[in-house]
Chain A
Amino acid sequence: MSRRNRTRAIRTAQYGMLLAVVLALALAADWGELRRAFFDVEVAKKQFPDVVTTALVNTVIYTVLGFAFGLVLGLLLALMRLSQVPPYRWLAVAYIEFFRGVPALLVFIALGFGVPLAFQVSINQYVTVMLALGLVGAAYMAETIRAGIQAVPRGQTEAARSLGMSPLWAMVSIVIPQAFRIVLPPLANELILLTKDSSLVYLLGLSMDQYELAKFGRDALNQHRSLTPILIAGLFYLAITLPLGHLVRRLEARTAKAR
């Protein structure tokens, strides 16, 4: 067999295999059942507008709150990790290792039940959500930001210091702004992960008006005995994460050009 013919044969086999698998799945599936479960128009209509005005909005609010808190805490941890004072480094490392190694699910449960027990106070639900998401996100962001700070060339600090800037000013006005440019793409990735992790806040116990997309979808699933709300919730997650993913790629392209 000539080389060209062999290439053609392999290509044909690959397409054929793909087609066979897709056809087999399509023929095996019960399309009627699928349509009734996932594409029930009546059930779908009932989800609006609450799925947007409550669930989507809450998902965004929780994510933004958690991300903002996590970013601040993550920056603090990154600076502690790089500190000259050993106990700060130990604390930061211990924190990062713990929250990176423990499932977010457990953190949420511990926070949701532990904090009210410990302090005998009921904190605002949004604050609890912010803490829970932020505490977990901070562990990941701290390592990202630390890597970013270390990626800023030493000469930048030297130039800042030789202009008479204090170590703090050099860090704040020269190193950190550049570090954030470097870590924007991974931070945006972290934002996508947090968007999905926000589905865990149901563990904290939410009232109806605090439902976010996943909890809202599951609630509607039980109520209507239909999987349609799950599909809708999934689509709305994609409506958040796909533009973010696009943003990440654009940021990556931009930083690649600027360097």
Chain B
Amino acid sequence: MGESETTGAAVADAAAIEVRGLRKSFGELEVLRGIDVTVRRGEVVCVIGPSGSGKSTLLRCVNLLEEPTSGTVRVAGTEVTDPEVDIDRVRRRIGMVFQSFNLFPHLTALGNLTIAQRRVLGRGRAEAEEVARHNLRRVGLTDKESGYPAQLSGGQQQRVAIARALSMGPELMLFDEPTSALDPELVGDVLAVMRGLADEGMTMLVVTHEMSFAREVADRVVFMDDGLIVEEGPPEQVVGAPRQARTRAFLSRVLDPAAAGGPESGTARPEPPAEPPGRAPEEVRKRPLR
């Protein structure tokens, strides 16, 4: 992503995402109750938490798919919550990957990757297709460019969706439970692609239930519950040795559903090889791709 390096130079000091005092209500229901979170450039932050905790809403507030009730969101120095800001311009710089893929079913994989490049960035057909093919190669789907979404497996569809976002040359990527709609055997391919992006230095904010991904790839993990951030820190702390009781209870449910509810389930978590504490995230990332 050479181009993002150059455009990013001007705002090198600015955080990629800066959320301050974010609140969001749907009618009577307050889903986000004051969120502060910062994602630095090149950082991978995973957001975990029970369903209904507001994780997805937080993510969707970052590119203004949901309008915050109050608070500010800054993306690469631009305040997206400012009514004067042209949100379409900001969104070009933010790649978004959805749980349900949301590929355009009436277009081929290549068409899915080129349409916004051509309509939004004004690229010509040849250039757009070149970028698209490059990104299909990145996600390992070179041979699927003329396939329609309905002809692809869920995992392939999600990888096309990632390639579609990448084709816009985003400075950061938002992932909204990207593997939750996939059959278990297809999850690995998508995670491998995301891991590759992280290795390339992409700034990523990932809402996920994949604890092993969070533990191995994230620089920082944010645990949310009931519209608030309960705990935040390096994965070996938040996932490996959570301080908060609510975090422990959640992790025990997720990691060992059979033992859920047991009084000591929070501590007696089965031990999938935890990262040695203090190990730098960069080292973690050197693991070979799955």
- A positions within 8 Å CB-CB of B: 153, 155-156, 158-166, 169, 173-174, 177-178, 181, 258
Contact = CB atoms under 8 A, between A and B. Distances in A.
B85 interface: no
B11 interface: no
B65 A164 contact: no
A155 B98 contact: yes
A169 B150 CA distance: 23
Interface stretch (B25-33, B102-110, B135-143, B204-212): B102-110
B46 interface: no
B65 to A, nearest CB: 6
B119 interface: yes
Interface of B: 63, 65, 88-89, 91-92, 94, 96, 98, 100, 102-106, 115-116, 119-121, 150, 161, 164-165, 168
B63 A178 contact: no
A164 B104 contact: no
Nearest to B91: A164
B106 A166 contact: no
Q: What's the dominant secondary structure at chain A's contact region?
A: helix
Given A158-B65, A164-B88, A173-B115, 18 more contacts: A156-B104, A158-B102, A159-B98, A159-B102, A159-B161, A160-B104, A161-B91, A162-B94, A163-B91, A163-B96, A164-B116, A164-B120, A164-B168, A165-B119, A165-B120, A177-B106, A181-B106, A258-B150
A163 B168 contact: yes
Contacts of B91: 161-164
B264 to A, nearest CB: 41
A156 B106 CA distance: 11
A163 B115 CA distance: 10
Contacts of B161: 159
A161 B65 CA distance: 8
